[in-house]
Amino acid sequence: MKVVHVHRIRGIGGSERHLLTLLPALRERGIDARFAGLDDTHGWDPDPFYEALARADVPYVRLRGPLRLARALRGVDAVHTHLVHADVYGTLAARGPRLFSTKHNDDRFRTGPWRFVELGLARRAERIVAITHSLARFQVERVGLPAEKVEVIHYGLDEPPAPWGTNPPLDLGSGAVIAAVSRLVPQKGVDIAVRAAAGTDVTLVVLGEGPARARLETLARDLGVRLLLPGRVPDVAAVLRRADVFVHPARWEGFGLAVLEAMLLSLPVVASSVSSLPELVADGDTGLLVPPDDVEALRAALLRVLHDPGDLGKRGYKRARREFSVDRMASKTAALYAAASSEAR
């Protein structure tokens, strides 16, 4: 079975890391999984994603515009799209192949006028994959997608992200370190982490890029917080291994792949109790959950873990390996294709 996954590539974020794990695993199961990328080079660098695909021996094509996508999809059995741009262009281009779509985020715009576009796209799709049960409920209850078409397949990881280079010098100090990995956008709630760190003797290091950088730097300076924003670093795991606790105070979240990466490093997690995060973090067992936008609750949870982490990290590692393996993810995806193929006969 030849399946082409389609995604607009702007760099390597959660959905891209998911594809870099899923596609090789599908090929190991005898599925001819390939990739068609809609490049977005406006201020972004998609090259590292394709370099990673090449290292994994996954065939791909890079398309500078959506009009070439139809040609790239000729002769394939199925097309699997990821995120809005690929959903739209893939649906228009895939005239013959069966169509699948993965929803990666509970973006609020999907509940507005855009929901009518989503409903139209869903009519063409054989199956819609939601990466968490929370996201599945959002798609059915808030967007209105047909429940019988929605399947839940969690992201899977077996190990932390492999380094693609050596980190530049990064002074994390000699005291406690709180780490986060996220885009610098309001959704991720990094501003709440900065406020929670105020009045404490910790270093907050956030790996990621985004438009909120200047505002976060100003906020940290005003509150006297030692905030490090090194951007995107080649070796994420090296920074997380130096940390004492991982924080993820998102206001909403499709999955939270960085949380899973932290769990695989046995790092205790403090996160907000929104969207998908309670599916990853078992409150009081593998980490702590707090209400979103609650600075005092987040500060108290962070200080509690810093004072006595117990075996939160060890239990988080075991949960990650048990519930979110690559084998589990790839097997469920392969079964989804097989079931759709059987129904089509």
Do residue 225 and residue 258 come from a single domain? yes
The whole-model pTM stands at: 0.85
Do residue 192 and residue 301 come from a single domain? yes
- For residue 167, being part of any structural domain is answered with no
The residue segments making up the domain with residue 329 are 2-156+325-344
Do residue 318 and residue 181 come from a single domain? yes
Spans of the chain below 50 pLDDT? none
Do residue 131 and residue 206 come from a single domain? no
Domains identified in the chain, total number: 2
The span from the CA of 345 to the CA of 343, in Å, is 6
- For residue 171, being part of any structural domain is answered with no
Do residue 295 and residue 214 come from a single domain? yes
Element at 7 (helix H, strand E): strand 2-9
Q: What tokens does 182 get?
A: 């996220």
Q: Which one-letter amino acid corresponds to residue 195?
A: R
Partners of 3 in beta bridges? 33, 78
Do residue 317 and residue 294 come from a single domain? yes
CATH, residue 265: 3.40.50.2000
Per-residue pLDDT, 345: 52
DSSP 284-295: TTTEEEE-TT-H
Do residue 121 and residue 242 come from a single domain? no
- For residue 232, being part of any structural domain is answered with yes
- For residue 161, being part of any structural domain is answered with no
Do residue 92 and residue 192 come from a single domain? no
What spatial distance separates the first Cα and last Cα of the chain, rounded to whole Å?
A: 14
- For residue 291, being part of any structural domain is answered with yes
Per-residue pLDDT, 303: 97
- For residue 85, being part of any structural domain is answered with yes
Measure Cα distances from 331 to 83, 98, 234, 325, 326 in Å. Answer: 22, 19, 30, 10, 8
Total Cβ atoms within 10 A of residue 71: 11
Instruction: Tell me 283's DSSP state.
Output: B
Do residue 330 and residue 319 come from a single domain? no
Do residue 26 and residue 143 come from a single domain? yes
- For residue 166, being part of any structural domain is answered with no
Is residue 109 within 8 Å of 32, Cβ to Cβ?
A: no
Do residue 193 and residue 91 come from a single domain? no
The tokens 């996201």 sit on which residue?
135
Do residue 227 and residue 254 come from a single domain? yes
- For residue 262, being part of any structural domain is answered with yes
